[in-house]
Amino acid sequence: MERQLTYEEALSELQGIVKKLENKEVKIDELASTVARANQLVEYCQSKLQQTEAEIQKIVKKG
Amino acid sequence: MERQLTYEEALSELQGIVKKLENKEVKIDELASTVARANQLVEYCQSKLQQTEAEIQKIVKKG
Amino acid sequence: MERQLTYEEALSELQGIVKKLENKEVKIDELASTVARANQLVEYCQSKLQQTEAEIQKIVKKG
Amino acid sequence: MERQLTYEEALSELQGIVKKLENKEVKIDELASTVARANQLVEYCQSKLQQTEAEIQKIVKKG
Amino acid sequence: MERQLTYEEALSELQGIVKKLENKEVKIDELASTVARANQLVEYCQSKLQQTEAEIQKIVKKG
Amino acid sequence: MERQLTYEEALSELQGIVKKLENKEVKIDELASTVARANQLVEYCQSKLQQTEAEIQKIVKKG
Amino acid sequence: MSTTKKSYTLTQLVASIKKVLNRTYGEQSYWVTGELVKLNMKGGHYYLELADSVNGINTAQMKATIWRTQVLALQQNLGEEFRQLLQPGNRLLFRVTVTFHEIYGLSLTILDLDPAFTYGEIELKKKQTIERLQREGLLNVQKQMRLPLIMKKIVLVGSPDTSGYRDFLTELKQNRIFTNFVIQEIPTTVQGDKAVTEICAALLEADNYAADAIVLIRGGGSKMDLNVFNDYEICRTIAQLHLPLLTGIGHETDEVVADLVAHTKHITPTAVAKFLYIRVGTFRSDLQTGLDRILTQALSSLASATEQFTNTNKFLTHYFQNIITDYRSDLQAKLHRIEVGTNEILAEQRALLDLSLEKSVVAAGHCLHIVQTIELPAILEKMVLRSTNLIEIQRLELLNLQEKVAVLNPLKLLKVGYTISSIANTDLSQYKGEFIGQELQTLTDQFTVYSTITKIQK
């Protein structure tokens, strides 16, 4: 999974998949990989949420 | 069956065959082989569907 | 019957005979042999049809 | 009747006789024998036809 | 009347007589006998014709 | 009149008499008898003609 | 100039001013409004600097004093509010007496305070702050920020001593939905003189963290307590933050300006905490719902695709059977046509044979008939004709001869008187000899005359 993916992007992609499926825009050939991608997105978000972050980094402001 | 054939291609070919049969455009000499091909395509498509379903079920069970 | 004859060829020959008979282009001396040939062609075609049907039944039943 | 005579030959001879008779090219002395020949040819042809018909019936019935 | 005389011979003799008459080659002394001969020939011819007709009728009736 | 005399002979004698008369070759003293002979011949011939005609008529009527 | 000027001592003048002031203002008291500019306390006495302004320009300024006994009385009456009211910057409604002291000059002695006026003033000021922020385009800056879907990294600004602060932390860490938050705490005073400065500093500090949001909490308090969050400086600081700010100031009725400026406001710190974890919960359930819908839809797609094939085989069977049936009937039709064609050919030939025989017989009969009825009778007739003709010619010939005989018969001439002359039985026309002296015979009807020729005349 791309490390840069935000929760918003993941959810949006997931919802995009839902819409495509419901509009029957997904070919049977792509069905398994599409579902797998959806699953991956969900898992990615869950794991990201569960991930432990020690503390919040202070950012050096350029001013 | 050619491994490269996608489900969509197989379905499209199958539909072409069904149409030809419907329009009686198939010669007797080719009828058996045409039906055999159609049957092969059906089996191929069904196996593709089964395979896809199995993959999706795996995700469902895990989820 | 020649084993190499396709159904279409047999049918075409048969149609030729039918046409000749209808146009009365067959001499009496050849009439019996012509009809015999036609009958042979019909039987050949029928056996081909039966054979094709059986093959297809086998394919479809299996499917 | 000569056994070797084909139907066409017999018919052709018969038609020759008819033509000669109609053109009055037959001498009175030969008239009776000519008509007799014609009758013989007709009978021969008819038997040929019957024979052909029987053969065809046999072929067709079998079919 | 000679039994061997054909119709054609009889007719030919008859016509010879007519020609002779036309050419006035018949003497008065022979005239009566000549006419008698001619008449005899005509009668012979007619019987021949009748005979032929009967023969033909016989052939046809039998046919 | 001699019964053996044919029409031709009678006619020929008659014509000889006429010729002699025309040539005045008949002696005065034979003149009368010659003329009488001529008349006798004419009558004879005429009866012969009549007789022949009757015979022919008889033949033809009968035919 | 003249030296005889009338003059007073300063004491005389001051005494006179005091006398006039006392006579005019005396022991009377007045309700006066003014802004508290400065406050000093000394020996239990409050020394105030009051001012008034019109359009931002000072129009009056005066010292005022609340004596210790009065302070104690007001503290007893107003309680905590007394301290809140006497914050510099507040506009106050005082009951005062005018006091003139020969040495310290003119001042006011505050006898009483009406807090209701100040609250109205607070509201007025609040309104002005809002208007200013609006003018400066700061009011909606935060609102325009996108609030992250998940706010897991939180910078908390507030006073750790307050119950609201503790409630917030407890709620975040002890709920059943999501607790994996990372919290960077930045403690700050939320009341007192230094509150504004400290809060601003704390907010700026908080903005330095790579967090998802800043939470500003204050666990409730009186109207005057919360008035600090109406402060323009604090609000401007909030508006200029990079991170979205969530407030949980903890009041139930009125909102403070900080709430308006903040991205999102909640009534209590607990509500902020709930908002944060419920948002995660919602996100999770959205994910799950999405996945469920995907799976359901995918399986349904598969099911309908699979169903398509249950019929395909039926169609295939149907269609190929149709084709076979067609071909079969075509063969039957051909066979029939062959039979019909053959029968026609045979029938035609039979008819042809019959016709040929009939033609033969008719032609033969015709021949016979012609010969019999025309040719032979014609010959016969011709013969009779010729014979008759022959006889007729002979008859004519005979007649001719008969006539000739009659004409040539000399005896006939004699009868009518003619004579025939001859010499030696030769007719005179034929005679070639010597006539003279010859005997001439002359024949008549009755007799013959004999004479001798004597003379010939030509």
- Interval G95-115: pLDDT, tens: 999 988 889 889 999 999 888
Q: Are G50 and G36 in contact (CB under 8 A)?
A: yes
Quick: pLDDT tens for A6-60.
999 999 999 999 999 999 999 999 999 999 999 999 999 999 999 887 788 888 6
Q: Which residues contact G109 (CB under 8 A, 6 or more apart)?
A: G64, G65, G66, G67, G96, G97, G99
Select from F27, F35, F45 the Cβ nearest to the Cβ of G425: F27
Q: In angstroms, what CA-CA distances link G75 with G84, G255, G265?
A: 11, 27, 34
Contact B36 C52 (CB under 8 A): no
pLDDT value for F32: 82
Going by C-alpha positions, the residue among E51, D4, A49, F8 that lies closest to residue G281 is A49
Phi-psi group of C5: left, alpha or beta (phi > 0 → left; psi -120 to 50 → alpha; rest → beta): beta
Contact partners for chain G, using 3 or more CB pairs closer than 8 A, are A, B, C, D, E, F
Q: Are B50 and B22 in contact (CB under 8 A)?
A: no
For residue A1, is pLDDT > 70?
Answer: no
Quick: pLDDT tens for B2-60.
567 899 999 999 999 989 988 988 888 998 899 889 888 988 898 999 999 999 998 88
Instruction: Say if G430 is an interface residue toward chain F (CB within 8 Å).
Output: yes
pLDDT band at D1 (very low <50, low <70, confident <90, very high): low
Contact A35 B49 (CB under 8 A): no
Distance from the D32 Cα atom to the nearest Cα atom in chain G, whole angstroms: 8
Q: Please state the rounded mean pLDDT for residues F21-42.
A: 85
pLDDT value for G280: 95
pLDDT band at A62 (very low <50, low <70, confident <90, very high): very low
Which pair of structure tokens corresponds to residue A4? 């840069």
Q: Determine the residue among A25, A34, A35 to mutate to test chain B binding: the one whose Cβ has the most chain B Cβ atoms within 10 Å.
A: A35
Touching pair A, C by Cβ (3+ pairs < 8 Å): no
From chain C, the residues in CB contact with B28 under 8 A are: 7-8, 11, 48-49, 52
pTM of model > 0.90: no
Give the length of chain G. 458
Contact A56 G210 (CB under 8 A): yes
In tens digits, chain G (458 residues) has pLDDT values of: 556 788 899 999 999 999 998 888 877 899 999 988 889 999 999 999 999 888 778 899 999 999 999 999 988 888 777 887 888 878 889 999 998 888 988 999 999 988 888 788 888 888 999 999 999 999 999 999 999 999 999 999 999 988 889 999 999 999 999 999 999 999 998 877 788 999 999 999 999 999 999 999 987 677 777 888 999 999 999 999 999 999 998 766 668 899 999 999 998 999 999 999 999 999 999 999 999 999 999 999 999 888 888 777 788 888 888 899 999 999 999 989 998 999 999 999 999 999 998 999 899 988 888 888 888 888 888 888 888 889 999 999 999 999 988 888 877 778 888 888 888 777 777 788 888 888 888 888 888 888 898 888 87
Please, what's the b/e burial string for E46-63 (b: 16 or more CB within 10 A of its CB; e: otherwise)?
bebbeebbebbeebbeeb
Q: Are G214 and G203 in contact (CB under 8 A)?
A: yes
Contact G327 B28 (CB under 8 A): yes
For residues G247 and D38, what is the distance between their CA atoms, to the nearest angstrom? 131
For residues A61 and G205, what is the distance between their CA atoms, to the nearest angstrom? 11
| Residue G357: Cβ within 10 Å count | 24
Contact partners for chain E, using 3 or more CB pairs closer than 8 A, are D, F, G
* Residue G230 C-beta-side C-alpha neighbours within 13 Å: 23
Q: Is domain G124-282 classified as CATH 3.40.50.10550?
A: yes
Distance from the G426 Cα atom to the nearest Cα atom in chain E, whole angstroms: 38
pLDDT band at A63 (very low <50, low <70, confident <90, very high): very low
The residue ranges of every structural domain in chain G are: 10-113, 124-282, 412-452
Of the candidate CATH numbers 2.160.10.10, 2.30.110.10, 3.10.180.10, 2.40.50.140, the domain formed by G10-113 belongs to 2.40.50.140
Query: 3-state SS of chain G?
Result: CCCCCCCCCHHHHHHHHHHHHHHHHCCCCEEEEEEEEEEEEECCEEEEEEEEEECCEEEEEEEEEECHHHHHHHHHHHCHHHHHHCCCCCEEEEEEEEEEECCCEEEEEEEEEEHHHHHHHHHHHHHHHHHHHHHCCCCCCCCCCCCCCCCCEEEEEECCCCHHHHHHHHHHHCCCCCCCCEEEEEECCCCCCCHHHHHHHHHHHHCCECCCEEEEECCCCCHHHHHHHHCHHHHHHHHCCCCCEEEECCCCCCCCHHHHHCCEEECCHHHHHHHHHHHHHHHHHHHHHHHHHHHHHHHHHHHHHHHHHHHHHHHHHHHHHHHHHHHHHHHHHHHHHHHHHHHHHHHHHHHHHHHHHHHHHHHHHHHHHHHHHHHHHHHHHHHHHHHHHHHHHHHHHHHHHHHHHHHHCHHHHHHCCCCEEEECCEECCCCCCCCCCCEEEEECCCCEEEEECCCCCC
Chain E / chain G CB contacts < 8 angstroms: 54
For residue E63, is pLDDT > 60?
Answer: no
For residues G314 and G337, what is the distance between their CA atoms, to the nearest angstrom? 34
Q: In angstroms, what CA-CA distances link C19 with C34, D63, E1, F3?
A: 12, 20, 63, 90
Contact G323 B21 (CB under 8 A): yes
Going by C-alpha positions, the residue among G222, G200, G251 that lies closest to residue G84 is G222
pLDDT band at C2 (very low <50, low <70, confident <90, very high): low
pLDDT value for G269: 92
Instruction: Say if G327 is an interface residue toward chain C (CB within 8 Å).
Output: yes
The separation between the first and the last C-alpha atoms of chain G, rounded to the nearest angstrom, is 247
| Residue, of E62 and A1, whose pLDDT is higher | E62
